Chain A
Amino acid sequence: MTQLRHADPLPPVTTPVAAPPEQPRTGWRARLSRAEVTWSPYLFIAPFFVIFAVFGLFPLVYTAWVSLHDWDISGAGAFVGLDNYVTLFNDPDFWNAVFNTLGMLVLATVPQLLMALVLASLLNQKLRGMTFLRMGVLLPIVTSVAAVGIVFSQIFDRDAGMVNGLLGLVNVDAVDWRADKWSSWTAIATMVNWRWTGYNALIYLAAMQAVPRDLYEAATVDGAGKVRQFWSITVPNIRPAILFTVIMSTIAGMQLFTEPLIFGQGGFAISGGSLRQFQTVSMYMFEKAFRDFDYGYGSAVAWMIFLLITLLGVVNFLVSRRSR
C-alpha cells in the first residue's frame, strides 16, 4: 500500500534521508501497518465473541453438565447421570407446564399472526395518515412488559375487571379468569396478542410492498377477487416473512414468563396459580432453580426447554418447506 500523506502525529523514528525511496515499504513501519491490517479485523470482532462465549454460550452448555449432577446451593454433589431426566419424565408438574406453555403458544401465535396479516393487508394501500396509523398499531410494543401484565390482570379481574363488565351486558355470568386453564390461558394470550400484533403487521406490510404490482393486475384481468388474490398471490409471496414471524413467536412463546407471573399475583405467582393452571416451563425452571435451589433439576428443565425450542424450530422449518 502506498502512503501518500501521513496523518500520523508521531514523527517517523527512522528518517531515511539518503535511503532509496523503496525502503519505507520494507521497513518496520510498513510491516507494522501490514500486520495491523491483518489482525485488526479479529480485534474488532473479538469483544462480541469473547463476551458471548463467557456469558452466553458457556452457561448454556454448562447447563447440560449441571443437569447430570445432584447440585444445590452448597455446590456440586454426586454425578447422577440421567437421573434428573428420569425424574423429569415422570414429573406431572413438568408435563403440566409443557402443556400450558404449548396451549398459550397456540392461543397467542395463531390469532396474532392472522390478525397481523389482515391488518397488514388493510395498511397496504394508499391511505391518509399513514405514519399515524403505523405508529398507532405499534403503540403496544413500547409498553413496559410488567405494565402490560398489571393492566390486563386488572381488565381480566373477576370482580373489578372490564371484561366481566362487558360480558354482563350480554347476560354472561362473570368468569373467574384465574381459576381455570382455558380462561387463564385466554387472558395471558390476550396480553401477548395485544403486544405483538402490530409489530408483526409491520413486518408483513414491508414484505407485501415488495410483491410486484403486475401480479395483482394480471389476476384482476383474470377475474380473481380480492380475497382470492390475498390467498393466491399475497400469502405465497410473503412466505419468508411469515416463516420468520412464526419462528420468532415460537421461540418467544416457549420462554413466556413475565405476563403469567404478574397475572398470578401474591403467593402463587411462580407456580402459576394455586393449581399450576397457568405455570409455563420457564416459570417451572425458575421455581426449581431459584426457589427450591435445586440447580441440577432446574438445569434438566432448562435443557429440555432448549431441546423443545430446537425441535419446534426444525418442525416449523420442515412444514414450511413441505407446503412450498
Chain B
Amino acid sequence: MRRTHPLVYVTLLAGIVLSAFPLYWLFVVATRSNDVVGDWPPPLVPGPNLAENTGRLFEAEDANFALGLWNSLLSATVITVAVVFFSSLAGFAFAKLRFRGRNALLLVVLGTMMIPVQMGIIPLYMIMVELGWQNRMEAIIVPSLVSAFGVFLMRQYATQAIPDELIEAARIDGCGTFRVFWTVVLPGLRPGAAVLGLFTFMGAWNEFLWPLAVLEADNPTVQFSLSQLSTTYYTDYTLMFTGALVATVPLLLVFLAFGRQIIGGIMEGAVKA
C-alpha cells in the first residue's frame, strides 16, 4: 500500500478537534465564572471555579441533582444487568436450542426492533397510574428490562461463539438446560455481553422523554435534572455546564475503560447488519 498522504492526517486531526471541542468547552465553562463566559475572544483555558460551581450545582433548588444522579445510576445499572441476562438467555435459546416456532418467534423479535415503542407512552403512562408507579423509579426500570436489539445481538453472538459440542458435553454430564446456560454458555458470551451492557447503560442514562412524562421534578433522573437546570437557570451558564459535565463523566469513564470493545462492537454489528 502507498504511503498515506499527509493531508489525510491533517483532515482527520481537524475532525477529531471538531468532535472533541464541544466536550472541552463544556469542561472550560464548568471551571469558570459567569462574567467571562460570553467574552470575545472566548476563554479557552480552564479556570479555578469548578469546586464552587459543583457546590452550587448540588444546592440548586428545583434541580435535585444529587437525587437525579443517584436515580440514573440505579436505574441504568438494574436495566443493564437485566437486559444482558434476559438477552443472553433468549439469545442462547434462539441460537442453540430446538423448539417449535423458533424461526417465527425470531422473526417477531426482528420485527419489534424497528418499532418506535416511544409512541406508546400515553397508554404506558395510564398503566403506571393503574400500578401506582407515577413518580417512582419502577416506572423507568420495569419497561426497559428487556430489549429486542439485545436478544438479536446475543443470538448472533451465541451462534458463532458457542460450539455445539460444548453444549452436548455438558448435557451428557447431566446438566439441565439452565445449568448448561449458566455454567457453559454464559461465560462464553462474556465479550458480546460486555458490548451489549455498555450500549444499554448509555441508552438508559440518556433516556429523557419517558422520565419527563412519568416523573416529577422532586424525583428526577439526571437528564431530567439537566432540563430543569436549563429551564430555571438558563442564564447561569457555568451552573448548567457543570451539571452537563457531571452528567457526562460516568459515560466518559465507561468509554475510556472499554473504548476498544465499544468500537469492536459497533464494527462487528455493522458487518452483520
Instruction: Show the binding face of A for B, using Cβ within 8 Å.
Output: 1-8, 33, 36-38, 40-42, 44-45, 47-49, 51-52, 54-63, 66, 119, 122-123, 125-127, 131, 133-155, 157, 159-160, 162, 165, 168, 194, 197-199, 202-207, 210, 240-241, 244, 247, 251, 254-255, 257-258, 261-262, 265-266, 269, 282, 285-286, 289-290, 295, 298-299, 302-303, 305-306, 309, 313
Contacts and interface: CB of A to CB of B under 8 A. Distances in A.
Contacts of B248: 142-144, 147
Given A7-B173, A48-B90, A306 B22 contact: no
A136 to B, nearest CB: 4
Given A56-B143, A266-B234, A151 B97 contact: no
B65 interface: no
Contacts of B205: 144
A159 B12 CA distance: 31
Mostly, the B contact residues are helix
A4 B245 CA distance: 59
A122 B226 contact: no
B12 A133 contact: yes
A116 B146 CA distance: 31
A59 B127 contact: yes
B38 A160 contact: yes
A48 B148 contact: yes
Interface residues of B, number: 104
Contacts of B112: 52, 56-57
23 contacts: A38-B99, A40-B93, A44-B181, A45-B90, A47-B89, A48-B87, A59-B122, A125-B8, A143-B251, A150-B241, A151-B244, A160-B237, A168-B40, A199-B266, A203-B270, A203-B273, A251-B116, A255-B209, A286-B213, A295-B122, A302-B122, A309-B119, A313-B114
Nearest to A306: B119
B140 to A, nearest CB: 11
A261 B227 contact: yes
A210 B271 contact: yes
B16 A137 contact: yes
Contacts of B142: 51, 55
- Residue among B8, B93, B245, B266 with max Cβ neighbours from chain A (10 Å): B266
A177 B110 CA distance: 41
Contact of A147 (B151, B226, B273): B226
Contacts of B262: 138
B222 A302 contact: no
B23 A143 contact: yes
B42 A162 contact: yes
Given A1-B171, A194-B22, A147 B202 contact: no
Nearest to B88: A44
Mostly, the A contact residues are helix
B248 to A, nearest CB: 5
A194 B19 contact: yes
Contacts of A44: 89-90, 92-93, 97, 177, 181
A148 B116 contact: no
Contact of A258 (B1, B37, B209, B270): B209
B26 interface: yes
Given A59-B120, A135-B263, 4 more contacts: A47-B89, A49-B108, A63-B123, A144-B223
A254 B209 CA distance: 14
A138 B263 contact: yes
A267 to B, nearest CB: 8
B73 interface: no
B186 to A, nearest CB: 12
A199 B203 CA distance: 14
Contacts of A157: 38
A165 B40 contact: yes
B239 to A, nearest CB: 10
Given A147-B247, A151-B241, A152-B22, A48 B227 contact: no
